[in-house]
Chain A
Amino acid sequence: MSTSHEYIQYETGEPVADTKAPAGDVHERWDKRRFEAKLVNPANRRGHTVIVVGTGLAGGSAGATLAEQGYHVVQFCYQDSPRRAHSIAAQGGINAAKNYRNDGDSVHRLFYDTVKGGDFRSRESNVHRLAQISVEIIDQCVAQGVPFAREYGGLLDTRSFGGVQVSRTFYARGQTGQQLLLGAYQALSRQIAAGNVELHPRTEMLDLIVVDGKARGIVARDLITGKIDTYFADAVVLASGGYGNVFYLSTNAMNSNATAAWRAHRRGAYFANPCFTQIHPTCIPRTGDHQSKLTLMSESLRNDGRIWVPRAKGDDRPPHQIPEDERDYYLERIYPSFGNLVPRDIASRAAKNVCDEGRGVGPGGQGVYLDFADAIKRMGRKAVEAKYGNLFDMYQRITDEDPYQVPMRIYPAVHYTMGGLWVDYDLQTTIPGLFAIGEANFSDHGANRLGASALMQGLADGYFVLPATINDYLARHPHEEPVTAEHPVAAEAVRETEDRLARLLAVDGDRTPDSFHRELGELMWEFCGMSRTDEGLRKALDRIPQIRDEFWRRIKVPGTGEEFNQSLEKANRIVDYLELAELMCLDALHRAESCGGHFREESQTPDGEAARRDDAFSYVAAWEFTGTGTSPVLHKEDLVFEYVHPTQRSYA
């Protein structure tokens, strides 16, 4: 094993700027942009092919909408059906500035809350557009038959979520993501039946084809036959989700992966803010080494559940034997005005702090109580059941404990990645013709995403933003020379992909793909998880290339490439995690401030709160790939705040 402590460095390049967002009043920018965007004559749209990778909320809604507009859409998902994309697992709800409650909500307030919640690391133009579109999303989904929760009068019900003081979250029991995704899936299905969308399920994108500087197609593998094929289009849209699975244990689906985004990055798309990862405070604690994934309990539980730990260290009495005055409802104590509904990053870190103090509960002291005893007393068991019944059932199934009797135990877990491919206001990456939407891009959440905003962003991008902005690109690049599989760039991309898979199969070592993935994940969780230090990140940066090296010497992938081979799929995804992890640590190391989900221990206030450093880090870090293990180039996009003035976030 290498003993050197040489880790990857970076170079600083030219700044990058979002050239598409119009100037002027933030309220008018989106209208202005839509008006200025060139349109494609409806009669000519059939002649344009758009590739969409992924069928989650963003991809599903984009595919359906582009097809409705008349484009020919070729869509891919690794799952056996578009309906299984991981958006389906989102539980709590979707935000919209409808102000149906008359509680002081407005587009401007949603905009303000989101910029503030993101700890002032997102773009005002993008976030404002998101807030504007939020109201249309609800209309759209209701029209599609999404069965949102309703009140007795037949009108839509809403609830509160973390980081805000209004009730603007629309929900469908604890399955909001499922219902919204099925709405998009059904709209997509309609277009598939109409012949406007050509769907390739169980087909995974493994590379991007860039011809003359423009994205013109992808290389994809049929997961059943193993056949590697090329697909071509006038534009490529990545809706492939986030990269939380770098951590091995996360709330992501087992097969969610970063390959599409990372391969695009390798082909020239900048990757922005990779260190901005969200650790969700309310997940079910892990039970042992066998653990393959973590399960989230919806943040909505924090509406009525109270979070606490024993006041004394090492108090191992059962919860009901701990008297009220020996309990520490630490969120209510530290943040009296937001209480249990502080944003996710703050709640997660507070949980980590009390556990680090030795006051955690459950096996290994890695947990805090989420207690519904007061809620049951106040609302009655029936009301609690109606509101959270399915979540309670899920908790009981996994832990074998009855949360109506015993407080739930929760602990933070990796949940969402705010970072992603850098995109401009049009959602176009630095590769012309390559767009990234939903969690795959970095755009709207800054350093921390508020609850119920991911669904909002995915659908805003897919239903409304991309279909408007992609027109402009296609209109400006009418019918380029068609690219075929024989094109040298395409042939080379296929060859590289085939080589990579062949190499994986040829190593025939003595370690399984999962063993590497777990090792990488543990390293990332320790050094690039809830709290990060200069020293720890350097350790990780030192270790990752060693794991990568070992991976290519010791990996064992059974079977062949010409068949259904889940081990090969997995190993190939780990190849990309092993590179992405390094960039995440490097980004985390270079950003010597605490903001949102990125907490650097060196940068905190005397009372342990995150200290943002706007003087030095009020920018988006967009990274350019230069090669595996070689120094990437940092391009900064300065953030300008005209409407919401950066202040130290206060939820006290």
Chain B
Amino acid sequence: MTRTLWDSTVGKKTVMAVSGIVMLLYLVAHMIGNLKIFFGPDEINHYARWLRTMGEPVLRYEWGLWILRVVLVTAVIAHGVCAYQLSRRDIKARPSKYVHSKPRASYATRTMRWGGVILALFVVWHILDLTTGTVHSGGYQHLHPYQNIIDTFSTWYGDVIYIVAVLAMGLHVQHGFWSAAQTLGAGSRTRDRVLKTVGNVLAALLTAGFISVPVGVMTGLVS
């Protein structure tokens, strides 16, 4: 087959849609995990340990987590590479701008590209901060997410970076979910309202869920 998914703009969009949905599902799970912080250190620290033992005894220690990480990294790379290639193509397809131009598409739609770049940069910082502890502000303790999170959100820049990124994520999901549905051919005139609503609700829930953690720390609800 010469016409692989990869050769076509429509194919690349499909890759973006599928990888986007993988990441979206991950975000939902991640948010649920995060919310455990409101039930105290034991709850969330236990959850962190479970992440490493899940799938046992079929899987060995941390295998499940690594499989997840590989899937996620693959999705991120596929999503990013496609986005980069398509963007280059799009810019080339419209080499000269209109003298009289006006933005019309929604803010979420127009910020997909730069929003995506912000998210990618955030993910790097986020991993270095809370997974490897490389740039962590306090003394990073492996398998003690409760304290690590409190450390991060006790700095003003930690809060700012995180909240900005979550808002970017919300916008990205709002357009991205609906857009993925169209790319995968799931949209239709009758289904449009449902899809838009699901996208908006997902975006709102994820944004609220993620932001509640730094807010919790800042307000002293979590300490």
The answer on direct contact between A and B (beta carbons under 8 Å) is no
